[in-house]
Structure 1
């Protein structure tokens, strides 16, 4: 768990969990490696960590990566940080998350939008704000009532990596229950959209990896002079 991921998770709980009086939070990919979202989960919510290994931070060991051991419409919040890039068929897992979520139910997704190859045990994907919209369309295609409350990209602290955060709601009719957006309280984000603001905020089309290459080239040129 890198510091920026912990901070984004805390921002999610601060903005959204305060609207939930009690309930269950399921963390997919909960193994405690340098920290866990359990640390920032509000105490009035029951936290259940699931992962594939019997390790610190894991309450339930999954036998099938695409089957959550929870009943339909039984979970209030699902969170997943730095996990979806390692899921070969993340769209299958997304539908499984929607299955277990109640109405209204929140899904917080944090996945990298760039960065080096890191297999755990595989490394398959990178995500952008359009990924969140695509997952909503996938859910609607499968007859699930889901919408995207907000999505944004935020750079990790002093690193080439960036986090893509997307927050989904099962049950569009409950949008009014969650009026606060993370992007209302921070400024260091880009390529953000909310359900109220469909045009990109802090739009930046130059890919992050190319930015880093450009920065290194400029630095090299400056050092040469």
Structure 2
């Protein structure tokens, strides 16, 4: 599940969901190896009876549905809220899904449905539709639901957290406390099933993820492994989009690799490449050891190997065991949880030192903090520590929030105090390990670079 979907749902929860209620998540199954692939954690600490339903049993599924459009396992008028994200585009008869949502909602109950308005084909097992606000409104009206809000994440100005590939559309609608409308919805649901028996059967998949047209932004030459919400473009799609966005710009070696070379998919923000090159160029052609947390499909590991050269060792860490299959000469991959201190202790016994560490892992506050605690001391004396995608420090779904203590952004602000602790007159701020071992902390949009280096107390400043 991409972060923008979680943020859209978080905003719904914050505005509409109240304590002491029942909530149904439709299409709730968590995917093995994916971090936070459901909305469940958004309700941590809330007095909410959360129930998940899906067609397939698994993690986070309380109710397994026998039929996609007749939820006989769920009683009518039984939930205060129904939510669903990244499910509706895979449904062949979405109007029937909406009628079932209406049925299980209590009068006055509210639903929040999130689905993409854009993006490439990602069969799971089908990929049927993309949704604009008008389409969501039509589906809501079909089920006699009152529309409270509907919008699409079109622009960064209004939705700074948007996913540029999927551009989610969000519908918030309510079951009215009008007996006649609710009766009409019940009749309509029954008549649909009588008139179309096919609606009670599963739709057979007739397409694949391979596009046959000539559009380079949509073409895929092979079926690319991706997560179930399609969070990753294929290499061909990435290169075409990158060339379009950087047209006329002088590219550094990392950008040239990303945009011109064959490689596995890489998921990076555009502004990161210049920052990488600024700090990494001094290591080119040297026997550098670089560790990246978050392997995904392995494309960035290939990029680092190409950039630093044959003397380098590129090390990846990921929680997904399948990533081990992405090893190749000069690239080693370890499987483990970055929030597990025991894993890091064992890792450090195997990898004696690291020159560059890039944390692009799970992005939660605890994962980032534990990794820094365990691994910053393990860097070489003039090593680099980078943590990217810091926007999650501001998102509650990742245990973040503005000025929230414990986020990695707030932790790095504290490192600035540690660097200057020589000058403190307060007993609360005295020189510590970081005072002696950090040369600089560089903040950029979404990423921080921490330069390690041995420091001693500077002489008194002489004013001339």
TM over 0.5: yes
SS in 2 for 1:136: helix
1:47 aligns with 2:59: no
**Residues 31 and 49, structure 1, Cα contact 8 Å, conserved in 2:** yes
- The correspondence for 1:99, drawn from 83, 96, 103, is 103
Q: 1:133 to 1:157 in 2, by over 3 A?
A: closer
Asked if the contact 1:98–1:170 (Cα under 8 Å) also holds between the matched residues in 2, the reply is yes
User: Does the 8 A contact of 1:29 with 1:83 survive in 2?
Assistant: yes
Number of the residue aligned with 1:162? 167
Match of 1:28 among 14, 23, 26: 26
Tell me which of 130, 133, 137 is aligned to 2:134: 130
How far off its partner does 1:220 sit? 5.7
Instruction: Give the TM-score taking structure 1 as reference length.
Output: 0.72
1:174-185 superposed matches below 5 A: none
The one of 87, 92, 107 equivalent to 2:91 is 87
Aligned residues: 182
* Pair member with larger Rg: 2
Q: Stretches of 4+ moved more than 6 A in 1?
A: none
Secondary structure at 1:55 match in 2: coil
Q: Which residue number corresponds to residue 4 of structure 2?
A: 4
Q: 1:34-91, CA deviations, whole angstroms, 9 ceiling, x for partnerless residues?
A: 3211110262110001112211111111111112221111111000000000010011
Equivalent residue for 1:16? 16
Is 1:219 the equivalent of 2:245?
Answer: yes
Unaligned runs of 5+ in 1: 141-145, 174-208
Taking the aligned partners of 1:219 and 1:154, their CA distance within structure 2 comes to 20
TM-score w.r.t. structure 2 length? Answer: 0.36
Deviation at 1:23, TM superposition (A): 2.0
Structure 2: tracts of 5 or more residues without a match: 155-160, 179-216, 218-237, 252-464
Following TM superposition, by how much is the alpha carbon of 1:223 offset from its aligned partner in structure 2, in angstroms?
4.4
What is the DSSP-based 3-state SS (H/G/I as helix, E as strand, rest coil) of the residue aligned with 2:69?
Answer: coil
Aligned residue number for residue 198 of structure 1: none
The 8 Å contact of residues 132 and 148 in structure 1, kept in 2 or not, is answered as: no
Describe the superposition over 1:93-152 as per-residue Cα deviations: whole angstroms up to 9, x where unpaired.
Answer: 100110111111111000000001000000000011112211132123xxxxx2100011
Q: In 1, are the aligned partners of 2:25 and 2:52 still within 8 Å (CA)?
A: yes
Residue of structure 2 in register with 1:150 after alignment: 149
Partner-residue secondary structure (3-state), 2:56: coil
Q: Which has the higher contact order (CA 8 A, sep 6+)?
A: 1
Give how far 1:161 is off. 1.7
SS of the residue aligned with 2:248? Answer: helix
For 2:10 and 2:245, the matched residues in 1 are separated by 34
Q: Which has the higher strand share?
A: 1
- State the alpha-carbon separation in 2 of the partners of residues 115 and 14 from structure 1: 27
Partner of 1:56: 59
Deviates more, 1:36-45 or 1:109-118: 36-45
Secondary structure of 2:17 counterpart? helix
Tell me, yes or no, if the aligned pair for 1:71 and 1:100 is still in contact at 8 Å: yes
Q: What's 2:39 paired with?
A: 37
Q: What's 2:462 paired with? A: none
Report the alpha carbon displacement of residue 218 of structure 1 after superposing the two structures with TM.
Answer: 4.9
Distance in 1, matches of 2:245 and 2:106, equals: 51
> Is contact 2:98-2:140 (8 Å) kept?
no
The DSSP-based 3-state class of the residue aligned with 1:124 is: coil
Partner Cα separation in structure 1 for residue 27 and residue 5 of structure 2: 13
Partner secondary structure for residue 222 of structure 1: coil
